[in-house]
Amino acid sequence: MLSIAVVDDEQAFSDALCRMIRQFAAKENVEVEITCFRDGLDIADEFRSRWDIIFLDIQMEHLDGLAVARRIRACDTDVVLIFVTTMAQYAINGYEVDAFDYILKPLSYPQFELRMLKAVKEVEKKAHSYVYLKKYSDVVKVSTDDILYIEVAGHTLRYVTDGETYERRATIGDAEKELAGLPFARCSLSFLVNLKRIDRVSGDTVLIGPHQLPLSRNRKKEFLQAFSDFLEAGF
Whether 93 shows a pLDDT value over 70: the answer reads no
Contacts (Cβ under 8 Å, ≥6 apart) of 28: 120
Cα 186 to Cα 119: distance, rounded to the nearest angstrom? 34
Higher pLDDT, 230 or 63: 230
Q: How far apart are the first and last CA of the chain?
A: 30
| For residues 8-25, average pLDDT | 95
The pLDDT of residue 92 is: 65
Do the bridges between strand 80-85 and strand 53-57 make them parallel or antiparallel, or are there none, so unpaired? Answer: parallel
Whether 128 shows a pLDDT value over 80: the answer reads no
Cα 193 to Cα 150: distance, rounded to the nearest angstrom? 6
Instruction: Report the top-level CATH class of 2-129.
Output: alpha beta
Residues composing the chain: 235
Break the chain into its structural domains and give their ranges. Answer: 2-129, 136-232
Percent of the chain with pLDDT over 90: 55
Whether 156 shows a pLDDT value over 80: the answer reads yes
For 136-232, which CATH superfamily applies? LytTr DNA-binding domain (2.40.50.1020)
Helices and strands (H and E) in the chain: how many:
6, 15
Residue whose C-alpha is closest to residue 153's, from 185, 175, 178: 175
pLDDT digits (tens, 9 = 90+) for 205-220: 999 999 999 999 999 9
Residue whose C-alpha is closest to residue 199's, from 185, 213, 188: 213
Three-state DSSP class for 181? Answer: coil
Cα 49 to Cα 77: distance, rounded to the nearest angstrom? 9
Cα 208 to Cα 136: distance, rounded to the nearest angstrom? 26
DSSP codes, 192-217: EEEGGG--EEETTEEEETTEEEE--H
| For residues 84-103, average pLDDT | 77
Q: Contact 84/8 with Cβ under 8 angstroms? A: yes
| For residues 65-78, average pLDDT | 87
